[in-house]
Structure 1
Amino acid sequence: MKRVVTLGEILLRLSPPDRNRIIGSQSFDVNYGGSEGNVAVALSHFGIDTALITKLPDNPIADAAIQQLRGFGVNTDLIIRGGERMGLYYLENGYSVRSSRVVYDRKHSSISEAEISEFNFDQIFENVDLFHVSGITLGISEEAYLLARSFMQEANRRGIKVSFDFNYRSKLWTTDEAKAKFSKVLPYVNIAFAGVLDFTTFLGIDPEETSNLVTKMDHKKLYKKVNEHYQFDYIVSSYRTVVSASHNEYQGLVFNGEEAFQSKKYQLDIIDRVGAGDAFTAGFLYSYLCDKEEQYQVQFAAAAGALKHTIFGDALLSSKEEVENLFQSNTYHVQR
């Protein structure tokens, strides 16, 4: 069985029930999430051996988060305990013309102040096939950036594939700050998950070159331009057209250095959009690790991302059979 290690922050998520506003809410639904943890959970449901590396305080809230991860099949044995607090965020789910809204409360969380010396690379990377991290972790703090960079360097040194999702968050840092940090770690990346804004903001692509991306050939030219500067093994992108906060069009593309591959397009009525990109990432990584052909990879990734829109919470809780059924059979009847 293939083995994947992810590094990132686990947060407590609080959401008003029934798409209500934060203002006026008397109760909140509780979930646990975080980009890299979401990827690990989805991969575990697909049958991949996964482990999450993070640091959490020694308190009952963190215990509950770890228990949930274990319940979803994620190995938590190497999570470090200590520090003052666990990060949290408030999610106000949008609907129709009202956008979703996120409020972070994650400063001084345990992982944001973790030190490299607390982690044993020999234990962490033993028999590992792929390491995954996102730009969110790099943006939490200077300490988290240095930690993530060290993990990426070490994985690269050991010949382990490195997967990186840009995942830029404007509430964490500026584009200039992110660009400076990203430029230091991209040489270690084999698989890059990036969208149009990442290409133009962080990878030096002229916005004019992304103004008319219609066909698969248009995207192929763009990806080739990116690979003139960074020789990624794969560039993987999801694209959405926002019709409203509760209805999107969704599609995936995969570029293998030579050719671009495009998924079918989904029309989505949204229950919970958070974590869809992580589900898409997990879908690609699963099919990549299983040596599937590129057309299967992009179809599986897009179907995984599409399904996540229909599931409440941060993580995709679907089997590989459910994902395959979506893009192979194209049926929505009750499965009996």
Structure 2
Amino acid sequence: MSAAAKLAAVKAQLAELERLAEEERRKAEEEAKKRAEEKARRKAEEEKRRAEEEERRKAEEERQRTEEERWRTAELVSQAIPQKRKSAHPDSEHEEDEEDEAQGEEAEVLHKPSLGRTCRFRDGPRTSSCTECQRRAAPCLGAKGLPAAMQARVDRKSGDSPQRKRVKKSAPIVVEDDDEPATPSKKKSKGKGKEMGTEKRSTEKGPGVAAGGAESRAGGSGGVHLGREEKEWSLDPEPEQLTDRELLQHVLVEGQKTRLGMSRLLHHLEEEGELRAQWALADSKVVRQAVRKEVGKWAEEELRPLIRAEIRSVLAEFFATPAEQEDGEGQEEGEGQEGEGEGGEGGEEGAPAE
């Protein structure tokens, strides 16, 4: 081994050692950086935790201070009420006035919402609501009602005034066809719809029969006659002569008919969509079968001869006789020798040229 080769090998080893040292140094730097980041993260988390604990401690102290102040205020209020009562004048002529003033001051103290106390209610009829607590179940001690004369006048008027007449609720108007039921509703509405259908059929039979049936049903079961004699609502030439009740019935009936028509149209559209989907599926099946049949015919006509020829060639090579194989090998050897001879002549001719 020559000196140049040894020198090259030594240089290669030195380069490899330098590369390994560089990698180790880089790994050490990355690990040191990761440790520093982890340390900084832990320090930040610790500071955050300490700040949260400090805030929680301050909030707890503030809450305790607020509760202590509230309790102290309540104690002062409870102590102030007996002092007011003890400071009453001993004379009998001023005793009632002092008691009234003490009760008024007690009510005022209890009505203040800042003190955390609620109003005390007394039994009796309600005359007014308290302006502080806004409770209307019964009048509290500080409720300001009407004067006695005005309250008596109000009571007298309310007793003398007759009771108001309550209007009976009209029966629900539902129109349904016999051919196709509408959206499901309550049983009562279905019964009314049947009554309306019978009324419509009776109007078609004759005006007299329809009028008689409508009157009997109106008197018996509370039904409503929806149209005039020999007229339809949509063909009534004088709607301004109808009463408000008849106009409302007209609007309800026409709206119900419109809703039923729209629901019937939606049902027909859904059926048409289902039929179209079934037709498209059947057409796609027919097209797929036709394409499969055409592709099969083309493959049978075009690919079958090629496959058969390939199979024949493979079988011929596999079942060839040994003599034929030797002839084939001899021909291959002869062709190889001829190629070598041509190559040797070319080499001999090329040598003098050099």
Name the TM-score, length of structure 1 as normaliser.
0.15
**If you compute each CA radius of gyration, which structure gives the higher value, 1 or 2?**
2
Higher relative contact order (CA 8 A, sep 6+): 1
Q: Quick check: which one's helix share is greater?
A: 2
